[in-house]
Amino acid sequence: MTSLVLVRHGQSQWNLENRFTGFHDVGLTAQGVREAKKAGKLLAKEGIDFDIAFTSYQRRAIKTLWLALEAAEQFHIPVTKDWRLNERHYGALTGLNKQETREKHGDEQVHIWRRSFDVPPPALDMDHEYHPSKDKKYAHIDPSVLPTGESLKMTCARVLPYFEDQVVPFLKANSNVIISAHGNSLRAILKELFDVADKDIPGFEFPTGNPLLIEFEDGTLDIKSAKYLDKKRAKELPEIKGAKTA
C-alpha cells in the first residue's frame, strides 16, 4: 500500500489568541511544538518510510514538518514548499479576534464567513499591511494572483491543481508522502480524495498536530483505510465506499 499523511500544523500563537490567521505568518506555541514532536513519534510507530514531503510557505506548517520529521528520524527526505498549500486567506478579517468579530457582525454572519463553502470574507485592499504583496516571501509572484480574501471554494481552486499536478504523480508511483499544511488547504485535499459534497466539507475539522494517515491501493487513489494517529484527539472522517475509517 501507498501512504499519504496529512498533518495540520501544531497550535499557533494566533490559534491560542483566537484570531483569524490565514496568510499571516505566525509561529507555534509551546503546545504547538509538543504537538508536532508527538506527531513525529506517532509516525515512527507506524513504521512509514517517507519518500517526499510538501508544505506551505508559512512557518507554522514548515516548523511542524521539521519537528515531526526529526522525531520520526526522517529529517533527510526532500521537502518541497509552495504558497499554494497556504491557509485560506481570511481577507479583512485577518488578525481580528473571532469572538469580538461575532459581537460586531453577529454570530450568523461570522458563521457564514467561516463555514460556508462559497462566501468569501471582505477582501483586503492592496495597501493593507496584511496584503501578501507586502511580504517578501511572495515577491516573485504577480500580486494580481495573490488572494486577498478566499472562500473555501476559492481555496480549493488554488490547492487542488497543485495537489493533482505535483503530489498525485508521487502517490501513483507508490511513493509515501507527507503534507504539513493548514486546516483549509487540507480540507481541499480531503474533499478531493473522499469526494465530499460542497455543503458537507466545511464541517470536517483537522485537529492541530494530529497526523491523518490515508492508505491507497498501489498505483491508484483508491482508499483502503484512513485514521488519525492520535485517537484521543481524532475528528470525524468522511465515509467512502470500500474504505475503512477510524
Query: What is the per-residue DSSP string for 55-70?
Result: E-SSHHHHHHHHHHHH
The pLDDT, as a whole number, for residue 178 is: 98
Residues with a catalytic annotation lie at 9, 87
The pLDDT, as a whole number, for residue 244 is: 46
SS3 204: coil
The pLDDT, as a whole number, for residue 126 is: 87
The pLDDT, as a whole number, for residue 219 is: 95
The per-residue pLDDT string of the chain (246 residues; one tens digit each, 9 = 90 and over) reads 999 999 999 999 999 999 999 999 999 999 999 999 999 999 999 999 999 999 999 999 999 999 999 999 999 999 999 999 999 999 999 999 999 999 988 999 998 998 899 999 999 988 899 999 999 999 999 989 999 999 999 999 999 999 999 999 999 999 999 999 999 999 999 999 999 999 999 999 999 999 999 999 999 999 999 999 999 999 999 987 654 454
Q: How far is CA 91 from CA 125, 129, 148, 160, 210, in A?
A: 9, 11, 5, 20, 27
- Give the start-to-end residue ranges of the domains of the chain: 205-246
Model pLDDT for residues 3-27, shown as the tens digit of each residue: 999 999 999 999 999 999 999 999 9
Contact 74, 177 (CB under 8 A): no
Q: Which residues contact 12 (CB under 8 A, 6 or more apart)?
A: 21, 26, 27, 28, 29, 32, 60
CA pseudo-torsion sign 94, 95, 96, 98 = positive
The pLDDT, as a whole number, for residue 241 is: 60
Q: What is d(CA 189, CA 159) in angstroms, rounded to the nearest whole number?
A: 8
Question: For the chain, how are helix, strand and coil distributed in percent, rounded to 5?
Answer: 40, 15, 45
